Amino acid sequence: MSLKPVATGAVPTYIQVMDAVNETASSFEEILTDFELLDDWEDRYRYVIELGKALPDLADEKKTSANKVMGCASQVWLVTHTDGNPDNPMMTFEGDSDAHIVRGLVAIVLATYSGKTASEIAALDAFETFAKIGLVENLSAQRSNGLRSMVNRIREEARVRAAA
């Protein structure tokens, strides 16, 4: 979803970022780059919400208690898929939330971890990266705890599958 080039030295506008969001699903690196280009936190929040709007809806039958993430103030569901490799499976995730900004956080978490092997996921603490870009400190304590719960759940599932 990379941003289209703008004049040298120019910072892309919120509209340019949103046009890029709507074109394709984002990789974490693209999200990180776009996020860093937005100076204003209000624009960054809008960007997170737009990422959530672009996230495919999770089917109602997948919104089960087994898929629900505990520790989130909003309702959050994560579904894990593996490629069947018993030693170190490739893992992908689906997710959803009933809150707009949390849905955007789900999209960021999925972009961070989906498509990696269980051992890669277990070793990757995305929360550190989220903190570096200021995402954690600019969320409410409840949202930050929910984000940590999502990351911990995915990493724990990966640890179990990598150890199997």
Q: Residues with catalytic annotation?
A: 72
Which residue shows structure tokens 């959050």?
A: 76
32 and 129 Cβ atoms separated by less than 8 Å: yes
Residue 5 DSSP one-character state: P
| Residue 127 vs residues 13, 32, 110, 112: alpha-carbon distances, Å | 27, 13, 13, 10
Q: Could you tell me the two tokens for 56?
A: 């495919």
| Residue 29 vs residues 33, 68, 84, 142, 162: alpha-carbon distances, Å | 6, 27, 27, 25, 24
